[in-house]
Amino acid sequence: MVFCLMNKRIFLINTLILTAGSLFMRMLNIGYRVFISDRIGAAGLGLYQLIFSVFILAITISTSGISLAVTRLVAEAMAKDDPGYAKGAVRKGIACSLTLSLAAMAVLYLLAQPIADVLLNEPSAARPLQMLAPGLPFMAVSASLRGYFIAMRKALRPATAEILEQLATIGIAVTLFALLAPQTLEGACLVLMLGSTAGEMVSCLYNGILYLWDVRRLHGHRARGKGALWGILRIALPSMTGYTARNILSAVENLLIPTGLRKNGSNAVSAMAQYGVIQGMVMPVLYFPAALLSALAALLVPEMAEANAAGKSRAIARATGRAMQMTLLFSFLIMGIFLGFSRDIGLTFYKNEQTGILLRILAPLVPLMYLDGIVDSILKGLDQQMSSLKYNLSDSALRVVLIYSLIPVYGLKGYIAVVFFSTIFNASLSIHRLIKVARVPIQMIDWVAKPLLCMALSVSLVTLLLRFSPFSFFLPYQCVILQVCVTPPLYAAFLFLCGSLGREDIRWVRSLTGRRPAAAPAQANSD
């Protein structure tokens, strides 16, 4: 039994819905970034990222931790058949996030010019920041409602809300570009920020309507908020503190990168362009495949919370092991694709060879990056948010120190070294903690060694196919399509042949769909 307290078919359906939604969102986002880079160039994309680094800090203060708290409290309340407390938790969550978001909005709007002048060293960023500020309350409400929907296993609703938000953002921004044709970088960024704020408003309205429709079935259950506020604060404050401190340090980091590149010898435009390539091009592509895992990460929080509350330690260990195994198998495939075909990917998405070079360099970090996301969600579901807080703060502080020290001396190479150190450091601490808490036995041969070999074989075969066949004349985008279509099935076949994927894994997948093998019911009752 993977999870004791839920219908496995529902879990699978919700995972697929969130996965599809997240994948579609990231495809839209990459397409949108291609559009932006064509309009404002790499330097403009760098300014766009700087503005959003400050805005993300405001978002963090407004929403971080509260969505997680609502998810956990609602999941636990419904498991205890207490819908009144669930309703009260949602209301308290919305009240908390609204209070924080309104304060953050006021600060961001009123201090936009000093922030742009002093922190960003870009006076033109002030008006775009002011345009983003009104979107904060809408984001705060949406985050709380998303936590409710995830806890209720209604993944379609937040997924469609996020897609609607992205479509509204892109549609409005593209329309304004066509109508206004901004000639300055400030004007272009202003258009982008107007689109973003409008998208948040649309998403919030949609989420609110869905929530009011959903709670009708709880009619007759009076909302009880007693104890809910403390529950929200107990869960949210560590996450909020960690996220806020980390994003402050991240904002400092994002300011230090272009500054350090200038000290290394790059002029202002070149430094901003390099920053735009890294943060606006490379990182979105690097994290794009993780959309297939983000759904699992979101749904693991309520499931682990329920299992932990019920003392189902064996179920937690099995579920954690499966999640880690499948994440590693998937991430090794993605690492291989980035290692082998990064040039074609960079040219396809951004017509930029530097993007491909950086993708290949950073590709070995993919397994740890993806695994860290899953591990972090499981830890939070197991009430280990304080551990995540310590690790994230330590990691962020070390990144700032290293960026300040290395980039002025080594330039872009220094930043790459920082990324490697940070990823390994944070992931190692989180994985060690999870193994200790969940008591998960790690199988290095089946989870790491064999998948690495299978990845190398599959990528090598596809490379030879492209080099010594009629496919060698394909354009970059045609090569990417062929690589994405051929490499995964080859990889899966090799995994099956070497035993990293077997009948037990097939039975696990079948159990998720509700089609259990004959012996499964006896095992399912063991916990």
Separation of alpha carbons 285 and 357, rounded Å = 13
| pLDDT level of residue 508 (50, 70, 90 thresholds) | low
126: in domain: yes
Question: How many residues does this entry show for the chain?
Answer: 527
235: in domain: yes
- When pLDDT is averaged across residues 329-355 and rounded to a whole number, the result is 85
| pLDDT level of residue 289 (50, 70, 90 thresholds) | confident
Separation of alpha carbons 392 and 259, rounded Å = 24
Mean pLDDT comparison of 12-26, 97-111, 247-261, highest-scoring range: 97-111
Residue with tokens 């074989």: 457
pTM: 0.67
Separation of alpha carbons 179 and 324, rounded Å = 49
Cβ contacts of 45 within 8 Å, gap of 6 or more: 33, 36, 37, 276, 277, 280, 281
120: in domain: yes
8 A C-beta contact, residue 249 and residue 329: no
Amino acid at 524: A
Amino acid at 403: I
Nearest to 335 by CA among 416, 474, 451, 426: 451
Helix (H) or strand (E) holding 419: helix 412-438
8 A C-beta contact, residue 373 and residue 290: yes
Q: Quick one: pLDDT at residue 522? A: 36
Domain that holds residue 124: 10-256
128: in domain: yes
Indicate if the pLDDT at residue 498 is higher than 60. Answer: yes
Identify which has the larger pLDDT, 361 or 441.
361
Helix (H, G, I), strand (E, B) or coil at 54: helix
8 A C-beta contact, residue 303 and residue 11: yes
| pLDDT level of residue 520 (50, 70, 90 thresholds) | very low
177: in domain: yes
- Of 27-31, 287-291, 410-414, 507-511, the one with minimum mean pLDDT is 507-511
Identify which has the larger pLDDT, 91 or 254.
91
Nearest to 345 by CA among 328, 362, 326: 362
Helix (H) or strand (E) holding 372: helix 366-381
8 A C-beta contact, residue 130 and residue 112: yes
Lookup: tokens for 466: 């492209």
| pLDDT level of residue 377 (50, 70, 90 thresholds) | confident
Indicate if the pLDDT at residue 332 is higher than 90. Answer: yes
Q: Quick one: pLDDT at residue 523? A: 36
Mean pLDDT comparison of 6-20, 74-88, 408-422, highest-scoring range: 408-422
Torsion sign over Cα 303, 308, 310, 314: positive
Mean pLDDT comparison of 32-46, 248-262, 408-422, highest-scoring range: 408-422
Indicate if the pLDDT at residue 134 is higher than 60. Answer: yes
- Please provide the average confidence, as pLDDT, over all residues in the chain: 79
How many domains in the chain?
Answer: 1
Identify which has the larger pLDDT, 131 or 294.
131
Helix (H) or strand (E) holding 59: helix 8-63
Indicate if the pLDDT at residue 279 is higher than 80. Answer: no
Nearest to 364 by CA among 452, 276, 480: 452
Nearest to 509 by CA among 501, 498, 500: 501
Nearest to 436 by CA among 392, 387, 391: 387
Q: Quick one: pLDDT at residue 307? A: 74
Nearest to 98 by CA among 230, 214, 204: 204
DSSP-H helix ranges across 264-365: 268-276, 283-287, 291-309, 313-350, 353-362
Identify which has the larger pLDDT, 21 or 335.
335
| pLDDT level of residue 456 (50, 70, 90 thresholds) | very high
Backbone phi, psi, residue 227, to 5°:
85, -15
402: in domain: no
44: in domain: yes
- What is the four-CA torsion angle of 44, 45, 46, 52, rounded to 10 degrees? 110
Q: Quick one: pLDDT at residue 268? A: 65
| pLDDT level of residue 221 (50, 70, 90 thresholds) | low
Instruction: Calculate the alpha carbon distances from 272 to 2, 256, 412 in Å.
Output: 48, 11, 12
Identify which has the larger pLDDT, 161 or 220.
161
Q: Quick one: pLDDT at residue 466? A: 78
Lookup: tokens for 282: 């490379």
Q: Quick one: pLDDT at residue 224? A: 59
Residue with tokens 């189902």: 312
- Percentage of the residues of the chain whose pLDDT score is greater than 90: 12
Q: Quick one: pLDDT at residue 457? A: 93
251: in domain: yes
Dump pLDDT digits (tens) for 165-206. Answer: 888 888 888 888 888 777 777 778 888 888 888 988 998 999
Separation of alpha carbons 23 and 156, rounded Å = 14
Lookup: tokens for 103: 């304060």
- When pLDDT is averaged across residues 449-472 and rounded to a whole number, the result is 84
Q: Quick one: pLDDT at residue 527? A: 37
Nearest to 435 by CA among 299, 265, 316, 303: 316
Cβ contacts of 387 within 8 Å, gap of 6 or more: 379, 430, 433
Nearest to 492 by CA among 332, 383, 335, 350: 332
Q: What is the DSSP code (8-state) at residue 81? A: T
- When pLDDT is averaged across residues 430-448 and rounded to a whole number, the result is 87
Instruction: Calculate the alpha carbon distances from 203 to 114, 169, 208, 434 in Å.
Output: 30, 10, 9, 35
